[in-house]
Amino acid sequence: MEKLAIRASRPSVFCSLPGLGGNSQRRRPPSDVFLKLPAENRKIVANSASFHSISAVNVSAQASLTADFPALSETNLKERRVNGKEKAENIIWHESSICRCDRQQLLQQKGCVIWITGLSGSGKSTIACALSKALFERGKLTYTLDGDNVRHGLNRDLTFKSEHRTENIRRIGEVAKLFADVGVICIASLISPYRRDRDACRSLLPEGDFVEVFMDVPLHVCESRDPKGLYKLARAGKIKGFTGIDDPYEAPLNCEVLLKHTGDDSSCLPRQMAENIISYLQNKGYLEG
């Protein structure tokens, strides 16, 4: 049976045809869709004379327009639920002609993720900057994903509710994974209070490529520093769900690098702490191609 394909675009096209809302009803299609109209009934009622003209196509009763318009393929429109969200099916990974080992050979280093976690005020961002600078001086390429910085862009739609924190960590984990695949040493610096979320990011990477660094600094020390004034606001009840005050922080159980506050000024210097992380990377071969 011959059918006519018409592409409706704003202003919308109204159709009064059997099978498209009944004989007496008129239904507004979406602003950009394709309609299959029987050739014997092509009565079009439009609210504007402005629409795109396209050629007719011949299809059988069993066929669909997807041969001419692949984007409308039924299989491309199937969706499934993943972690409570819809995810498209029938997507296939496209392999690159340049692999991770090629990029690492070019950079003369191995990609990995250094995940610095700890309470607010524990020194995560300070250590991340010191580490990035020290590696740069060694000719190594790094990139830092700072928790606050990422919330200015990629995660600006997220709050600090528990479910949003989980999504915040998931997104950063996926971005960090891409950097590691490029061959870059990615430094992620954020509180990431929940153990399950950090473990989920670890599972994204090959064994050994997720280096968890725990800034083990007591709460009273972090609160005495309070560089952003957040502890004071939390204690006053002006910030709810603040980690360490009225929301828990789950310390790592088996981190790769432990940076513990001892009260000794020399051991707590950012540069010295950064060198401790670099020693780990050297021992594991990440600073070689």
What the block records as the tokens of 191 is 């509180």
* pLDDT at position 84: 58
How does pLDDT run across 216-244, given as a tens digit for each residue? Answer: 999 999 999 999 999 999 999 999 999 99
Q: Give backbone dihedrals phi and psi of 183, rounded to 5 degrees, phi first.
A: 110, 5
| Main-chain dihedrals φ then ψ at residue 11, nearest 5 degrees | -65, 150
286 to each of 16, 74, 158, how far by Cα in Å? Answer: 67, 46, 33
Q: What is the pLDDT of residues 79-101, one digit of tens each?
A: 455 555 666 788 888 888 999 99
pLDDT interval class at 283 (50, 70, 90): very high
pLDDT at 106 over 70: yes
Average the pLDDT over 13-36 and give the result. Answer: 44
Known catalytic membership, residue 24: no
Q: What is the pTM of this model?
A: 0.70
C-alpha distances (whole Å) from 195 to each of 159, 198, 231, 271 are 19, 5, 22, 27
pLDDT of 51 strictly over 90: no
Main-chain dihedrals φ then ψ at residue 206, nearest 5 degrees: -60, 155
- Work out the pLDDT band at 76, boundaries 50, 70, 90: very low
pLDDT average, residue stretch 112-126: 97
Among 122, 125, 189, 192, the active-site one is 192
> Which band of pLDDT confidence, cut at 50, 70 and 90, is reported for residue 110?
very high
Please enumerate, as own/partner, the contacts of 99-105 that have beta carbons within 8 Å and a separation of 24 or more: 100/181, 100/182, 100/183, 103/181, 103/182, 103/183, 104/183, 104/289, 105/289
Mean pLDDT within 11-26:
42
Burial class (CB in 10 A: 0-12, 13-18, 19+), 216: middle
